[in-house]
Structure 1
Amino acid sequence: MSQLCPRVFSSLLHTTMNQTLCGLMLVLSCFAGGIFEYADGPNTQVMSAEEQAFRFSANIINRNRTLLPNTTLTYDIQRIHFHDSFEATKKACDQLALGVVAIFGPSQGSCTNAVQSICNALEVPHIQLRWKHHPLDNKDTFYVNLYPDYASLSHAILDLVQYLKWRSATVVYDDSTGLIRLQELIMAPSRYNIRLKIRQLPLDTDDARPLLKEMKRGREFRIIFDCSHLMAAQILKQAMAMGMMTEYYHFIFTTLDLYALDLEPYRYSGVNLTGFRILNVENPHVSSIIEKWSMERLQSAPKAELGLLDGVMMTDAALLYDAVHVVSVCYQRAPQMTVNSLQCHRHKAWRFGGRFMNFIKEAQWEGLTGRIVFNKTSGLRTDFDLDIISLKEDGLEKVAGCSRSRLLVSFQVGAWSPSDGLNITEISKGRGPNVTDSLSNRSLIVTTVLEEPFVMFRKSDTALFGNDRFEGYCIDLLKELAIILGFTYEIRLVEDGKYGAQDEKGQWNGMIKELIDHKADLAVAPLTITHVREKAIDFSKPFMTLGVSILYRKPNGTNPSVFSFLNPLSPDIWMYILLAYLGVSCVLFVIARFSPYEWYDAHPCNPGSDIVENNFTLLNSFWFGMGALMQQGSELMPKALSTRIIGGIWWFFTLIIISSYTANLAAFLTVERMESPIDSADDLAKQTKIEYGAVKDGATMTFFKKSKISTFEKMWAFMSSKPTALVKNNEEGIQRTLTADYALLMESTTIEYITQRNCNLTQIGGLIDSKGYGIGTPMGSPYRDKITIAILQLQEEDKLHVMKEKWWRGNGCPEDENKEASALGIQNIGGIFIVLAAGLVLSVFVAMVEFIYKLRKTAEREQVLISSRVAYSRRNVYMHEVSISPPHSRSKNLKELVRAHQETSNYLINITDTNSPSHAQWLSGAHETRGLLLCFSPLPCVSWCSKWKVLLRAQPEIKASCPRDGLDR
């Protein structure tokens, strides 16, 4: 008992002294605790970056009395093993017993959770420096986290991906929490047109080469890595060894320590490397603090971590520096606050803990990592600014405020904040017209295919090597691009000799495959820009525009036929002219009969005459129309206004028709017509006699294969059904066109070149479509935009046109010297003579028919001999003098003859035979009753027949005259 009492007394005395000492410390200093993991094993004395930053920050605060003018910041530091949560709990309880106002750290997940639970129970603020997943049902409130919230950071990554116009990407994470951190990005495919492939880094090993090899084989060029900065250094090193550090790859790292990596080996690789940085290095005050930190860090001679720059301030160190300052400022602003020693087993909370925690959550501070603002509910840092940095030739360049002029990559960099989003700064300001930065002094592999006149083997008596073996339009274009952009190149012919097409399995061949596999940097050839190819590779702006047309054998010329004078007008027009002629003639006849002004007095000298006449009989109307049509006119002239209108309109019609006919007649009589069995793609589609096709696996074949137009679908069905329709290359197709009945569908530029040099071939029809030739580059290549600008420059300088004239201009096809286009032979106008001869024969035949017909009709009516002759009267009209003599036998009674004649004919009879008084007496009676005109003069009597318009002379015989009521005395 005597021995126990001194021990109890000693313990009580020690406790009382500690409490007294703590009370003095609370009055004179701010006591903080820090728990950090070992830097390199439990037995080393090397401080971790976080521990050194904790000490560094406390020293800066104590030297700067403006923050804590009456208080000194003191601290207690404890070190623990990684993932040892029991040890972390014990160290936290020890520091709480000392009366700390806050605990900083640790960083690892399990240790952080243990310390956070104790601090929450005793209501002491817990300051966290790395991202930690907090469940929605988390009830712990006594903590703040200075690391940017990953929900916002993931949104920043998504904004960058959208700006870069990525349509596909691969997301690689290192642990299970990576899927939680990148949740905003992983959900992007459901809201944006982005295809994501998710992969995980191998666990418990730093060897990522199997995964990198798999991604390289799968042609995954756009990759987002969510891993630590140490793993990022290993990935870059292994990717370099596997040949993935090229300009075709684009890596985005989510770690905020990318700037701290040693990127010197990758600066000139051309790789697109992008990351984020929260350290505000452009602030002069921040720069001075970082410089002091680097000097102190280097003096402490720590063991440099593999792949990191020496002396650089990491993000964790900067966050810890800011955290210590925020707690110190809040402690200074919290008056009348005392700190007591807290015991973990008693569960008695610090009575000022809630108040102090609110001070911290409401704090606003501008630190090394920019603006510091916490969410008052969750304690997370959601409002912050990020710099987007990219690897340049001069190292890592910041997004905004960049003043350096030598920039390597082709995309822009900028800044991001939760409120403003992505803000990109143009990096091309200050550049000259020729953008040569990323291609200068680079050696590129150029794939091409032999195709005249684009790429051809140079003809030479000596052996040629390398690029000197080739010549052509594309070779000249490549030389001009190399001069503008300053690169060198090596030309390689594609192995399979194809341009590039996709098979049923989606695999490409030809030059497209070489670009996809990165066996070539450029494809300079007559490579057509198509929608399907744009999904596999990138194209520059077209350097030549063209379309698909038909190459066919030139048809043999045919001489005009003897009836070629009918060719100037189509058969339809000839038919319409004939119908118009008949219609106008008939209308003229009818209108002339109706119009009173077309009728005139036949005997104007006889005032008592009421007989009128009309010149436009049906036959005369046709004769009038024929005369006007033949440009000859006629003796018939219309008198009425209505008939003159018809005549004028008909004359105008014939004027236009004859003028058009005459103007077109010379071409049809003098030009040798080229008759082709096909004139367009429609003609090809409608027939099967002429076989047609295109180059296999070429852009023309793809055009017909993908077309939805019915004509082109029909043509593709024909080509695909015949194995011989598709040819291997243009040379084979041209040979088939010359030797067989075959039509080749190909680009118009190639047809133009071929027809200039082969006069047996010609282009049929116009262009079926419109497209262009472009220079192909691998997907995401930084060279595309530079080449496009150079092509536009060549176009503005008219060099593209000069190069085309150089390679397309040929000698032309010789003219036929023996052919005289102006000389007309019998084969041209022989048909006119045939028409003339046929007209003469027809007129003779018609005359004979008229004569026989008239003779027969007269004989039937009069039963007498008929004789006829034609003469002119004083009125300039035709006169028919008809003499009918009685039979030589005068025994026949004259009275019976007259009666018989009147029963069979409409003729009136003039009788001049007065030898018989009975005849005269009878005829006189007949005249009174029958209205006959009798002439009793012994001399010939003349009478005018107005109806027939003939002058009749009556001899002392029986004379046939006019129809009844048509005789003028």
Structure 2
Amino acid sequence: MSGEFRIKDMQLISTTYKIINVFGRERRAVGFWTPRFNLSKSLEKKDDLDTIIWPGGSEKAPRGWLLPSNKKLKIGVPVKPGFDNFIRFENGKAKGFCGDVFEEVIHALPYEIPIHYEEFGDGKGESSGTYDELVYKVYLKEYDAVVGDITILANRSLYVDFTLPYTESGVRMLVPVRDQRQKTAWTFLQPLTADLWLGTGAFFVFTGLIVWFIEHRTNQEFRGPPVSQIGSIFYFSFSTLVFAHRERIMNNLSRIAVVVWFFVVLILQQSYTASLSSILTVEQLQPTVTNLDEVIRKGANVGYLNDSFLPGLLKRLRINESQMIAFNSPVEYNEALSSGRVAVIVDEIPYLKVFLSKYCHNYTMVGPTYKFDGFGYAFPRGSPLAPEISREILQFASSDKMAKLEEQLYGDTKCPDKDDSQTSSSLTLHSFLGLFIITGTSSLLALILHVIITLYNHRSHLISSSSQNSWRGLLAILATIFHEHDAGSNTPDKDEPRMADAVCTVENPWSMSNHIIENFDSDTDTGSLPEGEATPGREISVQDPDPLSFAYMHSEG
């Protein structure tokens, strides 16, 4: 003999192995294993093994759950009366969101698994123990799995294997929202900030001064005693707010300034009206509490879901046990928060979202999110089903069916964000700074052009006076020029007759005849002007509403 060989107990060890298929008490050879061909039913060539009979008489290789003697998978179902839309035992099956997801993923496996659901309760709607006790029964092999809203926790993973989570993870606070804006007698001032009120008032006065300076030389309505002129400035400027000014603008430069100012006033008015309407009609809802530190300082009570891991979390967050109150349903949450029995509810996000789907407009979630792994299904440690189910959960989570199940659970109510969508802040000066720059620039340009034109019209007088007077004298001359009434202007005085009236009167023969008759003295043959009526224009403007006929005048003559 030559080459390598092994001997054990004085016997040569063969390198060829026979493969035996054992099922029940029967045994049969299905092939061999050799270093040359590995598994093969022939020693001479590479070939597949003979058909293998698996437990149960099946010729297909089982995956995951081994089914000795067609044993069913015994699954424990917790009792959750307050949140039965997550899990409930109904007609021998697990119903609700958790049960529906499990049914979808278990039937997506490439093999069939017979299932038997068993309620972990007394049959009267009460649980037979805590969730920790239910999970521990899987460790004791009383259940083959647990399907429900079981949160994946480190201490529970010591006894069971969890699948990947199939819900949103985390813990947050639920707090009431209140309208923080107080309606008072001075609410009408809230749409604008103080700097915008002052800036708007300053530009009202500024525009009035510009118009007065340009108009008062030629426009009689802007002249008079100092008190009257000051009143005209303020009345004209502030009456533009409602476009009710009565003064007639004569100068084109002041018209330009006023038109631009009207544009600014229109935008301010519309913005103020919209903001005030929002303040009076839209509630500014803000959370009553924003973090647990406020709760700790106030010593307020904190609510949580009964039979959960949250008491341990609250203790780690420095909440005294005497401040903790357990609740069982969304209805109890609402009653406790609305009555002030508790300041906040601390719970997992899926439960809070279900609560908000019913009480959206009165509450909101605030504060940081405390990370947890979410809900998972529990299997015995080392179970081949756990990774199989996890892979199916990953595929199902991104499907349309999962989105539909979540919509059924949470509803399709679009609850607005209380932090910003229903708030209405005051308008600031910065928002209208561009408009104020435009109106200020146009008014200043109109003023500068008016000064230049006026000085140009009086240039000869200024040149002759500049050599004879000091700078104080020149200032006095300038003040006189800009203050005196421009009698040579084409602006008609309101006390003078208008040409249109005169022409209209002359063109009416009956009015003219009436005027002539009224000016004759009844005691004399010659007509004379009445005393105090020396202006023809004023005589012509006096008309009898019922003129005399030509026949009557002829008979009187």
The TM-score, its normalising length taken from structure 1, stands at 0.32
**Any idea what the Cα deviations from partners look like across 1:461-496, whole Å, max 9, x if unmatched?**
xxx7xx35x643333334444444432133342877
Distance 1:31 1:484 in 2: 58
Residue 386 of structure 2 corresponds to 784
Q: 1:674 to 1:35 in 2, by over 3 A?
A: closer
What do residues 124-169 of structure 1 show as CA deviations (whole Å, max 9, x unaligned)? Answer: xxxxxxxxxxxxxxxxxxxxxxxxxxxxxxxxxxxxxxxxxxxxxx
Cα deviation, 1:478-520, whole Å, max 9, x if unaligned, reads: 4444444432133342877444xxxxxxxxx345544555554
Q: Distance in 2 between matches of 1:665 and 1:479?
A: 55
Q: 1:527 maps to which residue?
A: 150
Deviation of 1:800 (Å): 3.5
Q: Using a 3 Å threshold, how does the CA distance of structure 1 residues 761 and 644 change in structure 2: closer, same or farther?
A: closer
In 2 relative to 1, CA 634–740 (structure 1 residues): closer, same or farther, beyond 3 Å? same
CA contact (8 A) 1:522 1:776 kept: yes
- Residue 238 of structure 2: which of 608, 626, 636 is its match? 626
Contact 2:330/2:355 (<8 A) preserved: no
Does 2:479 align with 1:723? no
Identify the match of residue 489 of structure 1 among 116, 120, 129: 116
Uncovered stretches (5+) of structure 1, i.e. residues with no partner:
1-29, 39-47, 58-256, 267-276, 292-391, 396-404, 411-435, 459-463, 500-508, 606-610, 707-715, 812-873, 878-938, 941-969
Sequence identity percentage? 16
Q: Separation in 2 of the partners of 1:682 and 1:625?
A: 54
Per the alignment, do residues 280 and 637 of structure 1 end up closer, same or farther by CA in structure 2, a change over 3 Å counting?
Answer: farther
State yes or no: 1:764 paired with 2:375. Answer: no
Pair 1:566 & 2:188 matched: yes
Unaligned regions of 5+ residues in structure 2, if any? 25-32, 122-126, 414-491, 496-530, 533-557
1:497 and 1:722 map into 2 onto residues whose CA distance is: 22
Are the equivalent residues in 2 in contact too, given 1:527–1:773 (CA < 8 A)? yes
Structure 2 match to 1:635: 247
Q: Does the Cα contact within 8 Å between 1:586 and 1:621 map onto a contact in 2?
A: yes
- Per-residue displacement from partner, 1:306-331 (whole Å, max 9, x unpaired)? xxxxxxxxxxxxxxxxxxxxxxxxxx
> Would you say the 8 A contact 1:522–1:775 is kept in 2?
yes
Which residue identity is paired with 1:656?
I
2:117 alignment partner, SS class: strand
Query: Counterpart of 2:298 in 1: which secondary structure?
Result: coil
**CA deviation profile, 1:222-267 (whole Å, cap 9, x unmatched):** xxxxxxxxxxxxxxxxxxxxxxxxxxxxxxxxxxx9x87978479x
Counterpart in the other structure of 1:450: 79
CA distance in 2, matches of 1:618, 1:260: 120
> Is the deviation greater in 618-627 or in 446-455?
618-627
- Counterpart-to-counterpart distance in 1, 2:248 and 2:309: 71
Contact 1:602 1:613 in 2 (8 A): no
Which of 648, 654, 662 is equivalent to 2:273? 662
Q: Does 1:576 align with 2:195?
A: yes
For 2:381 and 2:307, locate their aligned partners in 1 and report how far apart those are by CA, in whole Å: 21
The 1:638–1:733 alpha-carbon spacing in structure 2 relative to 1, beyond 3 Å, is farther
CA, structure 1 residues 531+739, in 2 after alignment: closer, same or farther (shift >3 Å)?
A: same
Q: Is the 8 A contact 1:523 1:777 kept in 2?
A: yes
Offset, 1:575: 1.7
Partners of 2:360 and 2:215 in 1: how far apart?
A: 71
Match of 1:81 in 2: none
Matching of residues 48-67 of structure 1 within 5 Å:
50-51=11-12, 53=14
Which residue, 345, 349, 364 being the options, matches 1:744? 345
Question: CA–CA distance in 1 between the matches of 2:326 and 2:183?
Answer: 40
1:498–1:36 CA distance, 2 compared to 1 (3 A): same
Q: What one-letter code is carried by the residue in structure 2 that aligns with 1:692?
A: V
Quick one: distance in 2 between partners of 1:538 and 1:809? 31
Q: Please tell me whether the aligned partners of residues 694 and 726 of structure 1 are also in contact (alpha carbons under 8 angstroms).
A: yes
What is the rounded CA distance, in whole Å, between the counterparts of 2:218 and 2:46 in structure 1?
134
For each residue in 1:918-963, what CA deviation from the matched residue of structure 2 results, as whole angstroms up to 9, or x when unmatched?
xxxxxxxxxxxxxxxxxxxxx99xxxxxxxxxxxxxxxxxxxxxxx
Instruction: Give distance in 2, aligned partners of 1:598 and 1:670.
Output: 43
Residue identity matched to 1:524:
V
The residue that corresponds to 2:304 in the other structure is 694
State whether residues 443 and 490 of structure 1, in contact with CA within 8 Å, keep that contact through their aligned partners in structure 2. no
Distance 1:637 1:756, change over 3 A: same
Counterpart residue identity of residue 239, structure 2: G
User: Is contact 1:547–1:768 with CA below 8 Å preserved after alignment?
Assistant: no
Paired letter, 1:583: A
Matched, 1:602 2:224: no
Counterpart secondary structure, 1:544:
coil
Distance 1:653 1:601 in 2: 24
Q: In the TM superposition, what is the alpha-carbon distance from 1:678 to its structure 2 partner?
A: 0.9
Native 8 Å contact 2:174 2:346 kept in 1? yes
Any residues of structure 2 matched to 1:86-97 within 5 Å, and which? none
Cα displacement (A) at 1:787: 2.1
SS at match of 2:347: strand
* Distance (whole Å) between structure 1 residues aligned to residue 380 and residue 148 of structure 2: 15
CA contact (8 A) 1:777 1:784 kept: yes
Alignment correspondent of 2:98:
474
CA contact (8 A) 1:543 1:800 kept: no
Distance 1:589 1:784, change over 3 A: same
Q: C-alpha deviations, 1:503-545, integer Å up to 9, x for none?
A: xxxxxx3455445555544332223456787787554444333
Distance change >3 Å, CA 565–CA 651, structure 1 → 2: farther
Corresponding letter in the other structure for 1:473: F
Which amino acid is 1:747 matched to?
Answer: E
CA distance in 2, matches of 1:290, 1:791: 40
Q: Distance in 2 between matches of 1:790 and 1:664?
A: 53
The structure-2 alpha-carbon separation of the partners of 1:738 and 1:600, relative to structure 1 and needing over 3 Å to count, comes to closer
Alignment of 1:79-228 (within 5 A): none
Q: Return the offset for 1:766.
A: 5.4
Q: Deviations over 1:163-187 (max 9, x none)?
A: xxxxxxxxxxxxxxxxxxxxxxxxx
How far apart, CA to CA, are the structure 2 residues paired with 1:748 and 1:784?
24
Q: TM-score, normalised by structure 2?
A: 0.50
- Supply the AA of the counterpart residue of 2:88: M
Contact 1:589 1:616 (8 Å CA) reproduced? no
State the match for 1:270 in structure 2. Answer: none
Q: Which amino acid aligns with 1:527?
A: I
Query: CA, structure 1 residues 579+699, in 2 after alignment: closer, same or farther (shift >3 Å)?
Result: farther
Q: Match of 1:750, as an amino acid?
A: Y
Q: Which of 287, 296, 305 is equivalent to 2:43?
A: 287
Once the two structures are TM-superposed, the CA of residue 745 in structure 1 deviates from its matched residue by 1.9
Q: Which of the two has higher C-alpha Rg?
A: 1
| CA spacing shift, 1:781–1:686, aligned 2, 3 Å | same
Alpha-carbon distance in 2 for matches of 1:524, 1:724? 32
For 1:638 and 1:547, how far apart are their aligned partners in 2?
72
Match of 2:505 in 1: none
Amino acid at match of 1:580: G
CA–CA separation in structure 2 for the residues paired with 1:533 and 1:634: 84
Q: Matched residues in 1 for 2:235 and 2:293: separation?
A: 45
Q: 1:531 to 1:457 in 2, by over 3 A?
A: closer
Residue 456 of structure 1 and its aligned partner are, at CA, apart by 3.2
Give the letter for the 2:298 counterpart. Answer: T
Q: 8 Å contact 1:582–1:622 — kept in the other structure?
A: no
2:208·2:236 contact (CA, 8 Å) conserved in 1?
A: no
1:38-437 equivalences in 2 (<5 Å)? 38=9, 50-51=11-12, 53=14, 264=22, 279-282=35-38, 287-288=43-44, 406-408=60-62
